[in-house]
């Protein structure tokens, strides 16, 4: 497997090297089209970035970033290490994002971010 040397993949790549049995043979090659598909489908709903994060025992998290809050994960959905729920996770991510992309929902998220920054994240 060719490891892509970017900060976004560093943790996943390190875990892959330590525990290759958790991953499909070409997981990054499989996930890149997922990123492109989600960005294409949800760009008009405020999605500007997708990251993939290893969440240890649970799997790989699809983390979506909203244009109004680029420093925070707006929504995430977990894909199992064996990718057996990849299609289901993509559909869930799209459905949840669309249901949370209204102005009221984005404002509510902003209020949570502002209050947490002011009083602390717990």
How confident is the model over 34-80, as pLDDT tens digits? 999 999 999 999 999 999 888 776 788 999 999 999 999 999 999 88
90 contacts 80 by C-beta, under 8 angstroms:
no
Residue 62: which of 99, 45, 37, 25 has the closest Cα?
A: 37
Which two structure tokens, joined as six digits, stand for 118?
A: 């002011």
> Taking the model in full, what pTM does it have?
0.75
pLDDT confidence band for 11 (50 / 70 / 90):
low
pLDDT at residue 40, as a whole number: 95
Bridge partners, 53 (sequence order): 61
């Amino acid at each position: 497997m060719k490891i892509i040397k970017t900060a976004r993949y560093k943790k996943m790549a390190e875990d892959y090297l330590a525990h290759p049995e958790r991953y499909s043979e070409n997981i990054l090659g499989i996930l890149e089209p997922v990123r492109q598909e989600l960005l294409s489908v949800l760009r008009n709903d405020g999605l500007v970035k997708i990251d993939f994060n290893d969440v240890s025992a649970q799997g790989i998290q699809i983390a979506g970033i909203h244009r109004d809050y680029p420093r925070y994960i707006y929504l995430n959905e977990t894909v199992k290490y064996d990718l057996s729920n990849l299609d289901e996770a993509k559909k869930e991510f799209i459905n949840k994002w669309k249901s949370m992309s209204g102005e009221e929902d984005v404002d509510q998220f902003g209020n949570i971010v502002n209050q947490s920054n002011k009083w602390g994240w717990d």
